[in-house]
Chains A and B, each alone.
Chain A
Amino acid sequence: MAKRLLSITVNGRLREDAVAEHALLVDYLRETAGLTGTKQGCDGGECGACTVLVDGEPRLACITLAVGCEGRRVETIESLTVDGRMGRLQQAFHEKLGTQCGFCTPGMIMAAEALLRRAPRPTEQEIRDALAGNLCRCTGYVKIVESVQAAAEGA
């Protein structure tokens, strides 16, 4: 269990932490950085609940090594609320009921955030393609599509 000093920017804040070389990004975020908004819903790469942005790209934190993010910028669900204001996707998922139990929601919103940065006015098909790796068991996805559309329209 060799440890290494990891320099990483998490939600705009530079951190230096000693982490095990085999530690996964999801465990680093949840246990070391205390950011429990990022969820684990499967045994590795199946469900998308742990989706975070690494240098702006959606990544599954449960199959990403923490030490592999040396020098990178990681963004989690907690970063989207700025100065006490929810982000556009957070607002829309709340108002449109894009969340029910809420467990897939952080990953779903981070995957959608990556999409909206890339394509501010996505088509419905682009929304579906971008969220294809994020499972939700509550909503049937209908209100998730509506939430992303509402967030894009409100931008």
Chain B
Amino acid sequence: MDSLADQAGDAGAARGAPHGHAAGQRTPLIDGIEKVTGRARYTADLPFPDALVGRILRSPVAHGTIRGIDTRAARAMPGVRAVVTGEDFAAPYGVIPIAQNEWPLARGRVRYRGEPVAAVAAVDAETAEAALAAIALDIEPLPAYFSAAAARAADAVLLHEKKAGNIEREVDQNFGDVDGGFAAADLVCEQTYHYAEVAHGQIELNAAVASYEPERDRLTTHSVTQVPYYLHLTLAQTLGMDASRIRVIKPFVGGGFGHRVEPLNFEMVTAALARAAGGTVKVECSREDSFLTHRGRPETDIRLKIGMTKAGAITAVDCEIVQRGGAYGGYGLVTILYAGALLHALYTAPAVKYRGYRVYTNTPPCGAMRGHGAVDARHAFESLLDRMAGELGLDPFAVRRANLIAPPYRTINDLQVNSYGLPACLDWVEQASGWKERHGKLPRGRGLGMACSHYVSGSAKPVHWSGEPHAVINLKLDYDGGITVLTGASDIGQGSSTLLAQVVAEVLSLSLARIRVIATDSALTPKDNGSYSSRVSFMVGNAALRAAEALKRTLVEAAARKLEVSPADIEWNGEQCGVAGTDRTLTFQEAVEAALVDTGTLSIKGTWSTPPETQGGKFRGAAVGSTAGFSYAAQVVEVAVDEDTGQVSVERVWVAHDCGFAINPLAVEGQVQGGVWMGMGQALSEETSYHEGLPLRPNMLDYRIPTIVESPPIDVKLVESIDPLGPFGAKEASEGALHGFPPALTNAIADALGLRLTELPASPDRVLEALHAKAREARLGARMEKAKAKAEGV
């Protein structure tokens, strides 16, 4: 490859504002036509007519020792081509290199009800299911723990070796003078909160197709992954294969929201079946399987204490968070670190103490879910700020404004803030919602609440700290004059392929029609760290920007040679370029032909890495939460609460999101609306729940994702703070606004009824229970007042 690499050394240089050719334009998705016509092929749609059908057997026991798995009868059945168990894998896996304790199929022990224990491949689904039924499991039950508290008990059996108290990770972070901060406060409030576990609920069911060529010992896997290279490495590790013999392809993916960031067991199982069968195996999972595979947001308990001055300035924060992590490591230690890192860092907070506990339990493993780690913490923080504003007689907006950051700024936990559009977000939602005229003044049962939030534009340190750039883009330009963008970034519906095409079109002043994006085939596209932590716009966008600039330089130089002038004399206008002030011009095609002389096909690379100052502090766990650019959001939610039924309905949402610069305003709006709405689902109705490890809501009826009927209008304002490091100033847009919804909702309920909910979701039963408890307290209080008055009167 005659790579003209534009290295990351200039990452600190701000890129000039776009001229609006393609960046900044409302652009329908470049792969949208396939989606609306039904032509888009998702994994389950791929034509593999000869594929065997794979099925997975799951543990009926929540915790137990595997004494034996008898597969003889299954293997003997006609039409069964492969049976695999945990013994068929070479190594365990886990997304975090230091916490790899999960096997694709359980080995030695099962740790949650529904954990995969064996799998078969057969000629059809009926045979595969009959074979599963013929497998005899001999599992000796062990004591099982379904809550963090039970798993932490002194006499609890350990789920994993060397994890005393079943604590996967304990965090103890102290910044500034916390005691002094509380001593200096005019008001100190403390509150506990409880959050139900929630799940991603992406509409596409999990599926994988794996083809194994025994003659070559080669494997090709198509899967629904958000991070193909994690899957690639994990397939190599768990199958004991050389990674160069594996190819991973991501077809259209029907949503992810974090469910598909980690490599998932069914992906390795499909590959193992294909290898054992010596052919192609397709595994299509059920909706129940999605809930068991899980990796959702953990059940969480928070105790939070904040000190505040009369003017609303935060003086100190003390927080303890416990997460019920489920049976395996997964992303767990990152989740518990995110909860602390992003608890307070959108405001100035001079002193912070954070204790976090990530606990192993006999429930399906939790993981990364949109807003990773920080959503429940945000609810607690914004709820307590709201309560304290009330106690101090301050407006909730005034309390936020008393704690705003002036960039550039280093937070107390060493996070770098280079751009900060939160003040403008606050101003817009305050105005748009009619806050000043309406907050505290609506009829009983109706209320307004507000909250702020922020999120990273990609983790500044990747999971595999290999020294490679954070993002690599290859551009291919050949005799046909078409530009192919080769990227490993997974478009999972968020529009990343469209955004990359826009960036390239913008730099080269070309139409999108000249640009194709090929996303994510390990044989063709450069490695990308994947679609998680909202990194793609910022990091891959920056790599695309640099690649396109390098390509433009190459074309300008070629045009200059052809026209026998200096490159500085060339005026570049995309479809035409030429010598400024003359009629000596070249068409784009002529410029391409000039550039191909002597070199042939152009392959141009662009890379990007986060500057060191954005990579966080030196303390243990400091990398988590660090980012090259924080997004900010503020929102106001209007609710109506029925006091007789406890039903909360959301009437309207006003949200302002600081996305730095909206490369595709249409897609950014869509991301902000979708994120806010997902926060609404968690806040109003969503919860997984278990009876002794048995999922009670493993379907889309009992797991209550809001329908279109209960979903409100969401008015979006995009605030453009032009981040100095973002591509054209852009930052993330997919997650930051989610966090603010749950606290804005419960703050609105407080405005409507004077009732402060400290537990989510705000389902009718919880709202009614809280109303009854409040009424009981009021009666008790009145009786005590009366008794006191009587006693004093005597």
Contact = CB atoms under 8 A, between A and B. Distances in A.
Interface stretch (A2-10, A53-61, A65-73, A132-140): A132-140
A37 B39 contact: yes
A58 to B, nearest CB: 14
Contact of B677 (A40, A78, A91, A141): A141
Contacts of A131: 708
Contacts of B202: 101, 103, 137
A129 B709 CA distance: 6
B685 to A, nearest CB: 13
A38 B701 CA distance: 20
Q: DSSP class of A's interface residues: helix, strand, loop or mixed?
A: loop
Interface centre among B36, B45, B708, B713 (most CB of A within 10 A): B36
Nearest to B714: A142
Contacts of A104: 203, 254
A128 B706 CA distance: 12
Counting chain B CB atoms within 10 Å of each CB, the highest count among A34, A106, A136 belongs to A136
Interface residues on B, range: 35 or more
Interface stretch (B347-355, B666-674, B742-750): B666-674
A143 B257 CA distance: 19
A18 interface: no
A135 B203 CA distance: 8
A43 B699 contact: yes
A153 interface: no
With most chain A CB atoms within 10 A of its CB, the pick from B29, B33, B254, B666 is: B254
B38 A43 contact: no
A132 B38 contact: no
A36 B493 contact: no
B38 A144 contact: no
B705 interface: yes
A38 B288 CA distance: 20
B466 interface: no
A135 B700 contact: yes
Interface-centre pick from A1, A128, A129 (highest chain B CB count, 10 A):
A128
Contacts of B666: 97
A113 to B, nearest CB: 12
B708 A143 contact: no
Given A37-B37, A100-B494, A94 B32 contact: yes
Contacts of B431: none
B41 interface: yes
A100 B708 contact: no
Interface in B1-59: 28-29, 31-42, 44-45, 47
B287 interface: yes
A144 B35 CA distance: 14
A41 B205 contact: yes
A86 B34 CA distance: 11
A98 B29 CA distance: 10
B587 interface: no
User: Which residue, of B252, B495, B680, B699, has the highest number of chain A Cβ atoms within 10 A?
Assistant: B699
A102 B493 contact: yes
B37 A141 contact: no
A51 interface: no
A100 B493 contact: yes
Contact of B288 (A1, A43, A109, A136): A43
B573 interface: no
A102 B708 contact: no
Nearest to A100: B493
A35 interface: yes
A145 B45 contact: no
B45 A140 contact: no
A37 B32 CA distance: 13
Nearest to A36: B45
Contacts of B566: none
B713 A47 contact: no
Contacts of A119: none
B523 to A, nearest CB: 24
A34 B705 CA distance: 31
Given A41-B287, A97-B670, A137-B202, 18 more contacts: A35-B38, A37-B39, A41-B205, A42-B287, A42-B699, A42-B700, A77-B37, A81-B37, A99-B35, A100-B493, A100-B670, A100-B674, A101-B204, A103-B204, A136-B708, A139-B677, A140-B678, A141-B711
Interface of B: 28-29, 31-42, 44-45, 47, 126, 200-205, 252-255, 257, 286-288, 492-495, 666-667, 669-670, 673-674, 676-678, 680, 699-701, 705, 707-709, 711, 713-714
Q: Which 9 A-B pairs have the closest CB atoms?
A: A37-B38, A101-B493, A140-B677, A102-B35, A103-B254, A46-B700, A77-B38, A36-B45, A100-B493
